[in-house]
Chains A and B, each alone.
Chain A
């Protein structure tokens, strides 16, 4: 991108950060809010929005509070996506820097493993895993995290290669620094900003993938609320109560858009010359 990155992101960035902050607070403090349980009916099915006071978003097909399910769903979406992104970023970052540092045989082995992971269609592999392993937050974080190691590793490797022959690294080596020091004190700190800003963009992708899995019914098992499952259940009532689908759709879109906006801004600041790494 040749857009000159603005240091201050403008209104869009503030709105995006604000939405993510609000969502994070709601997800963390969901237990403190006076919300009905997300998996128990609170009234008749398919109540329209704004019909009664606490249920400003109405109720779903079996009378559960849409507002409560939306906020509880945010907690699950954020937990899975942030957990999986952290796992992928740490593992991928380490592997990438190692590949750049070791070169030779180790680099080839890491490359083959990463290419094999890349070759698997993510959604299909996750579906196949769901057929054999019971899905839950832990398995989802682990499988999503491992699947998305390669892009992080590639990014970290490029970042490490760019720093390998910098004066400070060569100087440290000349001073007799060991492998550990060279890797962890000299090379890695420089690779953290690009990896971290890419992680924010990847978190957006993780939310979409987690949503797709829940939508297909192989994500977090019901009755736990999740946005994808809410959309899947609501689509049967699309003609009479479209808000059952449109509200979680909007929540998901805003969240993904916010992660993308913040992530792209961070990436432009960290590495103004970087194109789209995907």
Chain B
């Protein structure tokens, strides 16, 4: 160690206590930053929301209702207190509770994100296994090049091109809009398919590359050679012996991708006019609906932190080797 003198004395905590402290610190910073969004606004938030025609009485009424004029610490504590009891305030636009509005929109985003992860896995698993099984072979070269190309397609480019090819030119899918599950599963999937594929385009290469690298490494293991000498069919070895150790990292990555899509579906929701979380965010921004924006940011961030922690915990439970660092 080079800088022993500079290092502060380390507080000795258990591993889980250290992790919990870290998590709490991250959550503190996340909520502080979300609450501070209002303070980045030039001028008073009430004036920005109500526009230049607002009378002083209206401004004062809004300040009183939303507490924009109170000092930051008071506002923060009040807001976090509300967050802990499930009360995120009311939307400036609709007057409805923020949490209810968000929960109402959640299923749409959840569905296209889940579909997108499903499609990615469906494509990535066979291609990743087979291209990793024969590195440098024709399939591997096509898949590797294809993955690089897919990775370079921004989600809105994928969406617009999909709309052009599969909705406008062929008419197979609707150009935009949404049908809830109550309208029937087939109808629902017809509307959800293109947005999900557009999301999957960018995420498939991530899973594919991870799996391919894993497969290449696993194939060098002794147990694979043993299985081969036992005369087991190659396909059986690939999917029963080789895929199994990669399942954990693959599921982890899929969870991370899912978390990313929950927040990253804004573009797709805007393009396909879906009534999900992204659509809500886009509506709230021109209206400067601060309570809704803050609620969205902090809920997604908390979800992300918690998913990451669960993935971490899952690792230690499922794979004892990762316990000792």
Which A residues fall within an 8 A CB radius of B? 1-3, 101-106, 108, 111-113, 115-116, 118-125, 127-134, 164, 169-170, 173, 179, 182, 204, 207-208, 211-212, 215-216, 218, 228, 231-232, 235, 238-239, 242, 245-246, 249, 252-253, 256-257, 260-261, 264, 275-276, 278
Known contacts A2-B135, A104-B8, A238-B168, A116 near B37 by CB under 8 Å: no
CB-CB under 8 A from B300, the residues of chain A are: 121, 124
Please tell me if the beta carbons of B148 and A257 are within 8 angstroms of each other in the complex. yes
- B217-271 contacts to A (CB < 8 Å): 217, 260, 262-264, 266-267, 270-271
Query: Contact check: which of B3, B33, B216, B308 meets A103 at CB < 8 Å?
Result: B3
**Are A1 and B209 in contact (CB-based, < 8 A)?**
yes
Q: Are B152 and A257 interface neighbours, CB within 8 A?
A: yes
Instruction: Check B152 against A245 for contact (C-beta < 8 Å).
Output: no
Distance, CA A103 to CA B161, complexed state (A): 49
Q: A120-B30, A208-B155 given. 19 additional CB < 8 A pairs? A: A2-B135, A3-B144, A102-B3, A103-B1, A103-B7, A113-B29, A115-B22, A118-B304, A123-B264, A127-B293, A132-B290, A207-B154, A216-B267, A218-B285, A231-B156, A256-B152, A256-B154, A257-B148, A276-B206
B154 touches A179 (CB 8 A): no
Complex: A113 Cα to B27 Cα, angstroms: 10
B-side contacts of A122, CB under 8 Å: 263
Residue of B nearest to A169 (CB): B2
B279-325 residues with Cβ-Cβ distance < 8 A to A are 281-282, 284-286, 288, 290, 293-294, 296-297, 300-302, 304-305, 308
Among A132, A204, A257, max chain B CB count under 10 A is at: A132
A119 CB contact (under 8 Å) in B206, B262, B293, B305: B305
Residue numbers in A under 8 Å from B183 (CB-CB): none
B26–chain A nearest beta-carbon distance, Å: 5
Indicate if the CB atoms of A131 and B155 lie closer than 8 Å. Answer: no
Q: Determine if B186 is an interface residue (Cβ-Cβ < 8 Å).
A: no
Task: For the complex formed, measure the closest distance between the CB of A66 and the CB atoms of chain B, giving whole angstroms.
Answer: 16
The interface centre, meaning the residue of B9, B154, B286, B293 with most chain A CB atoms within 10 A of its CB, is B154
Given contacts A119-B304, A238-B168, contact A131 B284 (CB under 8 A): yes
Q: Which residues of B contact A252 (CB under 8 A)?
A: 154, 157
Chain B interface residues (CB < 8 Å from chain A): 1-3, 6-10, 22, 25-26, 29-30, 33, 37-38, 40-42, 135-136, 144, 148-149, 151-157, 160-161, 163-164, 168, 206, 209-210, 213, 216-217, 260, 262-264, 266-267, 270-271, 281-282, 284-286, 288, 290, 293-294, 296-297, 300-302, 304-305, 308
Can you list 9 contacts pairing A with B, beta carbon distance less than 8 Å? A101-B3, A129-B37, A132-B288, A212-B266, A212-B267, A228-B156, A238-B160, A239-B168, A245-B164
Task: Report the nearest A residue to B25, measured CB to CB.
Answer: A112
A contact residues around B297 at 8 Å (CB): 120-121, 124-125, 128
With A102-B3, A119-B26 known to touch, is A131 a contact of B267 (CB < 8 Å)? no
* Docked CA distance A170–B160 (Å): 56
How far is it, in angstroms, between the C-alpha of A215 and the C-alpha of B227 when the chains are bound?
A: 52
| Leading 7 A-B pairs by shortest Cβ distance | A121-B263, A104-B7, A105-B8, A116-B29, A257-B152, A256-B152, A208-B154
Chain A residue nearest to B296 in the complex (CB): A124
Q: How far is the CB of B101 from chain A (nearest CB, A)?
A: 15
Q: By CB atoms of chain A within 10 A, which of B1, B136, B267, B284 has the most?
A: B267
Partner of A179, one of B1, B6, B156, B285: B6
B216 touches A2 (CB 8 A): yes
Given the complex, which residues of B lie within 8 Å of A108, measured CB to CB? 22
Q: Tell me if B10 and A104 are in contact (CB < 8 A).
A: yes
> How distant is the Cα of A242 from the Cα of B161 in the complex, in angstroms?
9
Please report the C-alpha to C-alpha distance between residue A102 and residue B3 in the assembled complex, in whole angstroms. 6
Partner of B263, one of A124, A211, A256: A124
CB distance from B305 to the nearest CB of A (A): 5
In the bound complex, CA of A211 to CA of B153 (Å): 11
Complex: how many Å from CA A204 to CA B205?
15
Contact assessment for A124 and B266 in the assembled complex, using a CB-CB cutoff below 8 Å: yes
Interchain CB contact under 8 A, B2 and A173: yes
Complex contact B6–A249 (CB within 8 A): no
CB pair A115 B26 closer than 8 Å: yes
Q: Are B284 and A102 in contact (CB under 8 A)?
A: no
Residues of B within 8 A of A105 (CB): 7-8, 10
Q: How far is the CB of A192 from chain B (nearest CB, A)?
A: 19
**C-alpha spacing A22/B143, complex, angstroms:** 28
Which A residues are CB-close (under 8 A) to B282? 127, 216
Residue of chain B at shortest CB distance from A276:
B209
Residues of B within 8 A of A119 (CB): 26, 30, 301-302, 304-305, 308
* A152 to B51 Cα, complex, angstroms: 41
Contacts of B163 in A (CB 8 A): 235, 238
B305 neighbours in A (Cβ, 8 Å): 115, 119
Structural contact, B6 and A112, CB atoms closer than 8 A: no
